């Protein structure tokens, strides 16, 4: 099966990288290169304080990497058991985010070597438990489709002609990094068509865009998924996704998942149910760890914008291939991209075919 790049390197995109990616593009899925600047970097004092606390909680150096994506799989686990269409039961937070405080208070160690912090599900294992549980295990799989990845919505989604549109907000190393941009045209298009969608938010994007984060959380059409803390490929052995360095061991996998879990839980009022790594690369052990932490790794069946490198016609061609039960991956963090322009054509076409845009929680069980 041909795989398009899913997540373009957001922080360190280079000509050479694009040059490497282009040859692998299939004819049907693809877009144009773009670089964006953050449109919204307004940071209120409230958010500044919260984000400072979050940064302390998250810890670690800024790592640049890319977004993620996944292609249809033959090895992956089928989509989660389907349930009847229903509104997300997860509470939405419309007020100011709760203060983000490191578990042990300001100045304490990162949330990586202690019991679950406030906002982290009590049922989540501690970091030390994960490290002990997976110590010494060698992964056998690596890539976009390891065992355990959710690839589609399942039979109920197919029956109901449901399509899950997912948009990654990958973030970047600084508030004005291209990866921290916001495609307002794309989001407004979704709202105009009352299209439900899931946004996979990286912690860096959330910290750079507090006001926009509030707006996405408050919109009942939208669901928030976990796109990692530093946007790292998820590996227990230091593998790379494209050229992006992944995590090196189970402890780092825990940090990548739970750093942003803590932040998103504080912001939304509940723990995220869905995880997508930077570059959407995983090994099967990392996928199991994510499951232990109460989240499911989400792949995709349609690569809608190839990390925002598709031209508008390519986006149209790719997205219009979506069929009932599919999960579509695209990006909403690079406004100069032609993703919105493509969706302006493709989205009405999907709806005209009787397809329904849903969130992951509408059709998957966590
Ligand atoms: Zn990403």
Write down the domain spans for the chain: 15-83+127-363
Q: Ligand 1 centroid vs 170 CA: distance in angstroms?
A: 4
Give the residue among 323, 338, 348 at the shortest CA–CA distance from 164.
323
Q: Ligand 1 centroid vs 263 CA: distance in angstroms?
A: 17
Mean pLDDT of the chain: 76
Q: Ligand 1 centroid vs 249 CA: distance in angstroms?
A: 21
Q: Distance between CA 92 and CA 27 in Å, rounded? A: 40
Higher pLDDT, 39 or 289: 289
pLDDT in tens, 275-297: 999 999 999 999 999 999 999 99
Q: Ligand 1 centroid vs 246 CA: distance in angstroms?
A: 13
pLDDT in tens, 253-266: 999 999 999 999 99
Instruction: Work out the burial of residue 336: count CB atoms within 10 Å of its CB; fewer than 13 is exposed, 13-18 middle, 19 or more buried.
Output: middle
Q: Ligand 1 centroid vs 179 CA: distance in angstroms?
A: 8
Quickly state the pLDDT bin for 175 (edges 50, 70, 90).
confident
Backbone dihedral angles phi then psi of residue 315, each to the nearest 5 degrees: -60, -45
Q: Ligand 1 centroid vs 333 CA: distance in angstroms?
A: 9
Q: Distance between CA 311 and CA 65 in Å, rounded? A: 22
Quickly state the pLDDT bin for 120 (edges 50, 70, 90).
low
Q: Ligand 1 centroid vs 363 CA: distance in angstroms?
A: 23
Higher pLDDT, 13 or 291: 291
Decide which of 3.60.20.30, 3.20.20.370, 2.40.160.40, 2.70.70.10 is the CATH code for 15-83+127-363. Answer: 3.20.20.370
Q: Ligand 1 centroid vs 171 CA: distance in angstroms?
A: 7
Q: Ligand 1 centroid vs 325 CA: distance in angstroms?
A: 22
Average pLDDT, stretch 102-125? 48
pLDDT in tens, 64-90: 233 433 333 333 333 333 323 333 333
Give the residue among 52, 282, 44, 49 at the shortest CA–CA distance from 150.
282
Q: Ligand 1 centroid vs 54 CA: distance in angstroms?
A: 20
DSSP state, residue 81: P
Q: Ligand 1 centroid vs 5 CA: distance in angstroms?
A: 11
Q: Distance between CA 272 and CA 59 in Å, rounded? A: 20
Q: Ligand 1 centroid vs 344 CA: distance in angstroms?
A: 22
Q: Which pTM was predicted?
A: 0.73
Q: Distance between CA 10 and CA 133 in Å, rounded? A: 33
Supply the pLDDT for residue 6: 81
Q: Ligand 1 centroid vs 125 CA: distance in angstroms?
A: 26
Q: Ligand 1 centroid vs 206 CA: distance in angstroms?
A: 13
Instruction: Work out the burial of residue 144: count CB atoms within 10 Å of its CB; fewer than 13 is exposed, 13-18 middle, 19 or more buried.
Output: buried
Q: Ligand 1 centroid vs 69 CA: distance in angstroms?
A: 8
Q: Ligand 1 centroid vs 306 CA: distance in angstroms?
A: 11
Q: Ligand 1 centroid vs 155 CA: distance in angstroms?
A: 28
Supply the pLDDT for residue 119: 54
Q: Ligand 1 centroid vs 330 CA: distance in angstroms?
A: 9
Higher pLDDT, 288 or 121: 288
Supply the pLDDT for residue 210: 97
Query: Which residues lie below 8 Å from residue 81, measured CB to CB, with a gap of 6+?
Result: 154, 364, 365
| CA atoms within a 13 Å half-sphere pointing along the CA-CB vector of 275 | 32
């Amino acid at each position: 099966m041909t795989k398009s790049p899913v997540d373009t390197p957001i922080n360190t995109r280079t000509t050479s990288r694009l040059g490497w990616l282009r040859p692998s593009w299939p004819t049907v899925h693809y877009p144009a290169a773009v670089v964006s600047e953050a449109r919204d970097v307004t940071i209120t004092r409230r958010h500044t304080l919260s984000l400072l606390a979050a940064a302390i909680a998250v810890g670690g150096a800024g790592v640049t990497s890319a977004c993620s994506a996944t292609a249809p799989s033959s090895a992956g686990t089928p989509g989660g058991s389907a349930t009847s269409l229903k509104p997300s039961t997860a509470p939405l937070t419309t007020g100011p985010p709760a203060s983000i405080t490191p578990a042990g208070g300001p100045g304490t160690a990162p949330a990586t070597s202690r019991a679950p912090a406030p906002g982290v599900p009590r049922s989540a294992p501690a970091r030390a438990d994960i490290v002990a549980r997976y110590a010494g295990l060698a992964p056998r799989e690596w890539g976009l489709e390891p065992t355990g990845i959710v690839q589609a919505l399942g039979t109920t989604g197919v029956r109901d002609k449901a399509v899950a549109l997912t948009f990654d907000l990958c973030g970047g190393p600084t508030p004005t990094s291209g990866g921290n941009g916001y495609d307002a045209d794309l989001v407004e298009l979704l709202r105009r068509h009352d299209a439900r969608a899931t946004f996979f938010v990286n912690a860096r994007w959330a910290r750079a865009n507090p006001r926009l984060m509030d707006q996405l959380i408050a919109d009942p059409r939208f669901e928030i998924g976990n796109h990692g803390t530093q946007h790292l490929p998820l590996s227990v052995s230091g593998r790379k996704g494209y050229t992006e360095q992944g995590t090196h061991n189970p402890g780092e996998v825990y940090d990548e998942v739970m750093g942003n879990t803590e932040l998103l839980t504080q912001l939304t009022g509940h723990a995220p149910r869905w995880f997508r790594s930077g570059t959407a690369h995983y090994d099967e052990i990392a996928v199991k760890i994510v499951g232990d932490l109460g989240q499911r790794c989400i792949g995709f069946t349609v690569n809608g914008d190839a990390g925002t490198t598709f031209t508008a016609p390519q986006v149209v061609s790719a997205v219009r291939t979506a069929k009932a039960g599919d999960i579509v991956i695209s990006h909403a963090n690079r406004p100069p991209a032609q993703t919105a322009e493509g969706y302006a054509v493709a989205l009405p076409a999907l709806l005209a075919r009787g397809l329904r845009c849903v969130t992951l929680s509408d059709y998957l069980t966590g």
